[in-house]
Amino acid sequence: MSRKMIYPLFRGAGFTQEEMQRPVIAVANSWTEVVAGHIHLNKVSEAVKAGIRAGGGTPMEFNTIAVCDGYSEGFTGMRYPLPSRDLVADSIEAMVQGHADLFDGMVCLCTCDKIVPGMLMGAARVNIPTIFVTGGQMRPGRFRGEEIVVFDLARAYRQFQDGELGPEEFLEKVGSACPGPGACNVLGTATTMACMTEALGLSLPGCATYFATEAKGMRIAKESGLQIMKLVEKRIKPSEILTKEAFENAIRVDMAIGGSTNTTLHLPAIANEVSIRIDFKDFDRLSRETPNLCRLKPNGPRNFSELEKAGGVPAVMNRLEGLLHLEALTVSGKTVGENLKGVLVRDDEIIRPIDRPYMKEGGIAVLYGNLAPDGAVVKMSAVHPDMLVHSGPARIFESEEDCHKAFDNKQVKPGDVVVIRYEGPKGGPGMREMLMITIRISESDLNKSVALVTDGRFSGGTAGLCIGHVSPEAIEGGPIAVVEEGDIIEIDVPNRKLNVKLGDQEIKRRLQKWTPPKPKVVKGFLALYAKTTSSANKGAIREIPKK
């Protein structure tokens, strides 16, 4: 007789003996009342649980945390979202492994930037049959007859500062941009990671791009509840789906849509959980081979919502069919190739044909040179063509806050290369996004003359010549730590180069004199994170210190 059938605490929780005889399915839910990305997931979970019960299973729901990047932008709270990815993964491990032999399968419900990859890491780690339901996208808002999305507010704020919008008009526009629940309605990290989940094969076709407020999401949730029972019956685990080929498929989709640079952190971290190595070189190799087919905000004028109308991720994969590993297994129980049969592309401009791309290469480039020996990342699909090759004097800032002060005082000049250091995974700690700085550049008259280089990272909504993830980071003695005011930095995106115009001996001499600054955080979770996290080029994964 199974232990879970007779254990009295299940009786105390209200479960019957009959329920405990059925397969028990964990429903890991990131629902909170804090932000729009998660506010609706309690309703999604009810649909999932209805599907599980209809399939003959017993659902048991638990929650994880969900920190919102968007709310943290520009503040010290931005140190927490990336580290919270590990907390999400750890909570799934603790709940599933801590209740040994209880759960036969799992459904993960998640929406936003770090929660989706955190749950993917957790699911890979515990390796029981699992299916994902991502929470859908927010509908665009409307302001005076025009569609607007959350990142349109950067321009609105500039218009308010310049007197083009009055206070009441500005507040009206702010109140219109987020009309309901769902992931931020641009091709940011949240929507990109939903696309990656589907491309990896861990959510059902069509899951990544539906609107959070439409009935399609409830149907997908119920179908996923039914499907997890089939995965349990066939004992199909994440390790059978998360193959090297699946990761390559996902990266190709990422390159084709022009997704967030944060995928270069998340996909390697997920792969690490199944002992597969994915690194910067994989991204750059596949980017060189995969054309960019979509131009969605912030890479172009179209809203992310139009990707759903054009056919979503299945339509993108249809375009890429000749480049994909079609034999890769998915949670539908079918291979990628089988899922693509009958898929149509409904708009040739939203998702261009592979022989008529927006760019011959993909959306992300990895740069190397004496400033980034282990690599740095740029979303080249969002860079103005005139800025793909640039050189200029370094303007050095030891933190994001110091850089803001320089902009406030109009000390950043055309041609400058803004360098923000000590914002990496260890040095931040937490690798803050520099979105507010990128907005100050892109929404000003400096947008075609100023570049940004940092060991921090960027929002998926970043546009312009913004180079992040510089590795090694400054706190680890990377060359970025010893760049001085006025040093000439040379950037060549097409040829993948990032150099400071200094000889090797001069860089070595400066590094010998360099001493790291004191840690910014000395206690609590972030202090522990700083001691255990790896470099950005490894995905900022946790590394257990060797004795």
- The per-residue pLDDT for 155 is 77
111 residue type, one letter: T
Q: Which three-class secondary structure string do you get for 316-369?
A: HHHHCHHHCCCCCECCCCCEHHHHCCCCCCCCCCCCCCCCCCCECCCCEEEEEE
- The per-residue pLDDT for 247 is 98
Q: What is the mean pLDDT of residues 93-106?
A: 95
Q: What is the mean pLDDT of residues 33-50?
A: 97
Residue ranges in 55-152 assigned as alpha helix (H): 69-72, 81-98, 115-126
* Residue 235: both structure tokens together: 């004992």
Interval 397-446: pLDDT, tens: 999 999 999 999 999 999 999 999 999 999 999 999 998 899 889 888 89
Kindly state the helix (H) or strand (E) to which residue 229 belongs, with its residue range.
helix 215-234
Beta bridge partners of 471: 375
> With bands split at pLDDT 50, 70 and 90, how would you rate the model's confidence at 6?
low
* pLDDT of 1 higher than 60: no
Q: Return the percentage of the chain with pLDDT > 70, whole number.
A: 99
Q: What is the mean pLDDT of residues 41-66?
A: 98
Lowest mean pLDDT among 205-214, 219-228, 538-547: 538-547
129 DSSP 8-state letter? S
How far is the C-alpha of 499 from the C-alpha of 491, rounded, in Å?
7
* Residue 325: both structure tokens together: 């590993």
- The per-residue pLDDT for 56 is 98
How far is the C-alpha of 212 from the C-alpha of 459, rounded, in Å?
22
Higher pLDDT among residues 125 and 69, named by residue: 125
Rg (CA), the chain: 23
For residue 373, the tally of other CB atoms under 10 A from its CB is 15
Q: What is the mean pLDDT of residues 289-294?
A: 98
Residues carrying CATH 3.50.30.80, the chain: 364-538
The Cα-based distances of 405 to 242, 247, 486 in angstroms read: 45, 41, 18
* pLDDT of 108 higher than 70: yes
CB 122 within 8 A of CB 78: no
- The per-residue pLDDT for 165 is 87
Beta bridge partners of 133: 109
CB 26 within 8 A of CB 94: no
**Annotation: CATH topology of 364-538:** Glucose Oxidase; domain 1 (3.50.30)
Interval 157-209: pLDDT, tens: 778 877 888 988 899 998 999 999 999 989 999 999 999 999 999 999 999 99
Q: Mean pLDDT across the chain, nearest whole number?
A: 94
Interval 234-260: pLDDT, tens: 999 999 999 999 999 999 999 999 999
CB 191 within 8 A of CB 264: no
**Architecture field, domain 3-139+180-292+301-339:** 3-Layer(aba) Sandwich (3.40)
> With bands split at pLDDT 50, 70 and 90, how would you rate the model's confidence at 24?
very high
How far is the C-alpha of 471 from the C-alpha of 370, rounded, in Å?
10
- The per-residue pLDDT for 72 is 84
Buried b or exposed e, range 168-202, using 16+ CB within 10 angstroms: eebeebbebbbbebbbbbbbbbbbbbbbbbbbbbb
* Residue 306: both structure tokens together: 């139009």
Which residue carries 């994969």 as its tokens?
317
Q: What is the mean pLDDT of residues 437-463?
A: 89
> With bands split at pLDDT 50, 70 and 90, how would you rate the model's confidence at 3?
low
How far is the C-alpha of 503 from the C-alpha of 218, rounded, in Å?
60
Interval 468-491: pLDDT, tens: 999 999 999 999 999 999 999 999
CA max distance for the chain: 74
302 DSSP 8-state letter? B
Q: What is the mean pLDDT of residues 144-164?
A: 83
* pLDDT of 5 higher than 70: no
Q: What is the mean pLDDT of residues 50-71?
A: 95
The Cα-based distances of 12 to 16, 25, 207 in angstroms read: 10, 18, 36
- The per-residue pLDDT for 463 is 83
* pLDDT of 547 higher than 70: no
CB 378 within 8 A of CB 260: no
- The per-residue pLDDT for 2 is 67
40 residue type, one letter: H
Which residue carries 């007197």 as its tokens?
163
* pLDDT of 152 higher than 90: no
Residues carrying CATH 3.40.50.2300, the chain: 3-139+180-292+301-339
- The per-residue pLDDT for 357 is 98
Kindly state the helix (H) or strand (E) to which residue 245 belongs, with its residue range.
helix 244-257
- The per-residue pLDDT for 390 is 97
Which residues, including other chains, have CB under 8 Å from residue 131's CB and lie 6 or more apart?
105, 106, 107, 108, 202, 203, 204, 224, 227, 228, 231, 331
Q: Which three-class secondary structure string do you get for 255-275?
A: HHHCCCCCHHHHHHHHHHHCC
Can you say whether the dihedral through the CA atoms of 181, 187, 193, 198 is positive or negative?
positive
Question: Which residues are marked as active site?
Answer: 459
- The per-residue pLDDT for 460 is 78
Interval 501-514: pLDDT, tens: 999 999 999 999 99
